[in-house]
Amino acid sequence: MMFLFRSIRTCAVVALALVVGVLQAQTLRVANQGDINSLDPHSLNESLQLSSTQNVYETLIGRNKNLSLAPLLATRWRQTAPNVWRFELRRGVQFHDGKPFTADDVVFSLARAAGEGSDMQSYTNDIREVRQVDSHTVDIETRTPFPILPDVLTQVAIMSRKWCEDNQATRPVDRRKGLENAASFRTNGTGPFRVRERQPDVRTVFVRSPNYWGTVEGVQPSM
């Protein structure tokens, strides 16, 4: 499946073209009155921004059709102390570049979301420390008992530590201030779609990720 997001400045019509058939592509075209400022999931806490980046990046916990909490990159979570939550991570997940997802990426991403340049700090203010227990387990210690931590973590995307380090994107930057880095225009998530093309204020093309760990309802697997 291919998903094209167009700014309404260059496309005045919203068109939907779904070609049904196992060997045929499905394309969804969407026009909007404005464009997203960045592809960095930590740089801007706005609905248009997040609705776009959530096609590419995933959080530890998501929500199902009934809006109840549901496993995503974390398969289980529980409190081990009043201020400590343990998260068991999904195994066999790959980023779009083929690198494996591990606890190290979770520790890095929560620190990145809490750091300078991030617009997601409101979701991480109550976190004191994130500790790696093993390759697929993390403990999150909060400053005080914080029973809604799983709800809060539905908003914080997980990025690849290695990709961010290799591309000098370890900190988010604010595109509204004219700042940019590799994560502003390129992506490397674990989600069902990856970015094939990005033309700011013109169009962004998402295509189905062939190595996605899960399934997407209504979308046929890549051939």
The domains located in the chain, with CATH, are: 1-34+192-223 (no CATH), 58-186 (3.90.76.10)
Output helix, strand, coil percentages for the chain, rounded to the nearest 5: 20, 30, 50
Which pLDDT score is estimated for 1? 60
6 touches 31 (CB < 8 A): yes
> In the structure encoding, which two tokens stand for residue 55, read together?
């096609």
Contact in structure between 19 and 2 (CB atoms under 8 Å): no
Non-local CB neighbours of 167 within 8 Å, separated by 6+ positions: 181, 182, 183, 186
Could you read off the pLDDT of 138-189 as tens digits, one per residue? 999 999 999 999 999 999 999 999 999 999 999 999 877 888 999 999 999 9
Mean pLDDT of the chain, nearest integer: 87
6, 122, 211 from 149: Cα distances, Å? 35, 12, 29
pLDDT on residue 176: 78
| pLDDT tens sequence across 97-106 | 999 999 999 9
What's the whole-model pTM score? 0.85
